[in-house]
Amino acid sequence: MFDRQFEQLFRALHRIEQQLSTASHEEKEILREEIIALRAVCDRFVEKWLTFEEKVVYLSELFGLEIDLEELPKKPVKPNPVMQPVHVKAIPLPPPAEEEQIVRSFQKGVGYFDLLMFPDAIRELERVVALDGQFTVARLYLAFGYLAKEEYDKAAQQLNLVAAGVKEPFILAMVHNSFGHIYAAKKDYARAAEEFKQTAEYMQDFRDAYYNLGVCQYNQKLYRDALASFLVALDQDPKDWHAERIVSSIWRKIGSPEKAYQHIEQAYRLNSSDYDILMEFADLCLQQQEFDLARSLYKRASRFYPTAVQPLGGLGWLAVREGNTPEAISCFKKQLTLAPNDRQAQFNFGWALLLEGDSGKADQIFQKLMEFEPDWIHTRIGAARVALEQGNYHMALEQSAEALKLDENSKELWFYKGLAHSGLGDREQAQQCWNRCRELLTVTTEARGESS
């Protein structure tokens, strides 16, 4: 009866999906309104369906009909008199009213749950477990409902009751998985990880358990453990671009940019429009000196997300690298227009002004940043560079030394500190700083697998 209408809805949604991939910002707004309108149509179907279900339940109760709401209607078959049995079959007694109520409320509760109508689902499922405390699946759904509403204590109470009365691996896996979500929501990642490990022991093919375990280990900075968990999740679902992106991030953290590149490239193949994937892929391209690909990724991100500031920053720094300072300043100005209080955009603009030779304006920007972000290393780097440009070597030395307290492995800072010592005539100290800079450059080069 409704197949045609739903086919039209899905055709419209498919068309919108295709248009979104190339839509401008204004076109996306129009398509967003169209999606909202389609959703409103579906909401009306849901409302009608709920009214229909209530009417079916009412008729079942009023006339004593035995209706299984999960059963599809069957085509009636005309009786064949020749094949009729000679004896009369006894009419079964109707089930007790309490049992009817349990079945009816359970079916309604699960229906509400599937529609994400959690308060309604909880109301029906509470009625079920009040009538039959041994109805394990109903109690498990009730716990899910509380979990969805973030009523964690109530969810835990129901989960403990479920765990006490069952031995089925699947249900126990769901109990531990739910407890894992409760502890993760409370940021107790160590206990959450233990629950997800238990989940995986009961259900080794449940990929969500490994994914969730990986998230908990990542949040505990147990990066190698997290990597192992996410790789298992990827084995079970190779098209999970979320997992590919996180694996790439982990490889970056443990010092393997080549493997990070491989996984972010795969994530991009699976989802070429996700903002985080675009930015992380572009950044890794810069590390691998694939500047043209990085530029195309930043441009793609800027086109898909016109209000985002990071893609403009990436394009600006590519222009800096090419010596195109006016283009860099143009990009950084656009950044500041979109986000006047963004500290990275302010730093970028100050640095570009410094390269253009306007150390006075650059100094104003870095001094303002210093007021609000004194412990941000880039603030100190900018101030040190301005001091060098102005010949204030004592200030350059002071700013470099303060910045090295924040990151003693910054190649740029050791280089600037060496310049400051050199400007003050301390050649031996300058050479020590530059030697340290060379050591760090060598480590970085070896980590990338490149020749020195």
| Tens digit of each residue's pLDDT (9 = 90 or more) over 106-144 | 888 888 877 888 888 899 888 888 888 888 888 888 999
**Does position 90 have pLDDT exceeding 90, yes or no?**
no
- When the pLDDT of each residue in the chain is averaged and rounded to a whole number, the result is 83
Residues 6+ apart with CB under 8 A from 186: 152
Per-residue tokens: 335: 């950044």
Host H or E run for residue 432: helix 427-447
- pLDDT tier at 348, thresholds 50, 70, 90: very high
pLDDT for res 7: 65
**Does position 4 have pLDDT exceeding 60, yes or no?**
no
pLDDT for res 64: 64
**Does position 82 have pLDDT exceeding 70, yes or no?**
no
Q: Please give the model's pTM, rounded to 2 decimal places.
A: 0.68
**Does position 176 have pLDDT exceeding 90, yes or no?**
yes
Q: How far is CA 16 from CA 214, 305, 306, 377, in A?
A: 34, 18, 19, 45
- pLDDT, tens only, 418-446: 999 999 999 999 999 999 989 988 765 54
Q: How far is CA 296 from CA 4, 182, 282, in A?
A: 42, 42, 8
**Does position 351 have pLDDT exceeding 70, yes or no?**
yes
pLDDT for res 189: 95
Q: Tell me what the mean pLDDT of segment 135-158 comes to.
A: 90
Cα–Cα distance, 274 to 265 (Å, whole number): 12
Q: Is 418 exposed, middle or buried (0-12, 13-18, 19+ CB in 10 A)?
A: buried
pLDDT for res 103: 79
**Does position 95 have pLDDT exceeding 60, yes or no?**
no
Cα–Cα distance, 95 to 281 (Å, whole number): 63
- pLDDT tier at 248, thresholds 50, 70, 90: very high
- pLDDT, tens only, 275-331: 999 999 999 999 889 999 999 999 999 999 999 999 999 999 999 999 999 999 999
CA dihedral over 50, 56, 59, 62, signed as positive or negative: negative
58 or 161: which leads in pLDDT: 161
Q: Tell me what the mean pLDDT of segment 73-81 comes to.
A: 37
